[in-house]
């Protein structure tokens, strides 16, 4: 079985219910993202604290702010 390709970062926090919803959407869509906890980095916290969850592409650094659904995420990552 091949490992899923990681195509994005998901910025959030550990106890963020919206971040949990975003993770569930990504999982159901078969999308693997690296979870980044913004609490651990002052710069990330300042940039994303009012926007999380935020999905960020690796290839072009484009960002998708919440709210999003599976269709929006799939289109964003194309």
pLDDT attached to residue 27: 95
According to DSSP, the β-strands at 32-37 and 6-12 are parallel
Structural domain contains residue 14? yes
> Is residue 57 one of the residues assigned to a domain?
yes
CATH number at residue 25: 3.40.30.10
- Crossing angle between the packed helical segments 17-28 and 70-77, to the nearest 10 degrees: 70
Is 13 inside a domain boundary? yes
Domain membership flag for residue 25: yes
Above 50 in pLDDT, residue 3?
A: no
Which residue range is the domain that position 70 belongs to?
7-77
In this structure, what token pair is assigned to residue 45?
Answer: 């916290």
Please write the tens of the pLDDT for every residue from 10-30. Answer: 999 999 999 999 999 999 999
- Percent of the chain past pLDDT 90, that is, above it, reads 88
Q: What's the domain count of the chain?
A: 1
Q: In Å, what is the CA distance from 54 to each residue of 5, 12, 38?
A: 19, 7, 11
pTM score, whole prediction: 0.90
- Tell me whether residue 2 is in a domain: no
């Amino acid at each position: 079985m091949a490992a899923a390709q990681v195509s994005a970062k998901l910025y959030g926090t550990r106890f963020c219910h919206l971040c949990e919803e975003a993770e569930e959407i990504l999982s159901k869509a078969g999308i693997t993202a690296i979870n980044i906890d913004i609490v651990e980095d002052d710069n990330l916290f300042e940039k994303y604290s009012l926007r999380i969850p935020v999905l960020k592409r690796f290839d072009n650094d484009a960002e998708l702010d919440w709210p999003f659904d599976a269709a929006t995420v799939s289109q964003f990552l194309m």
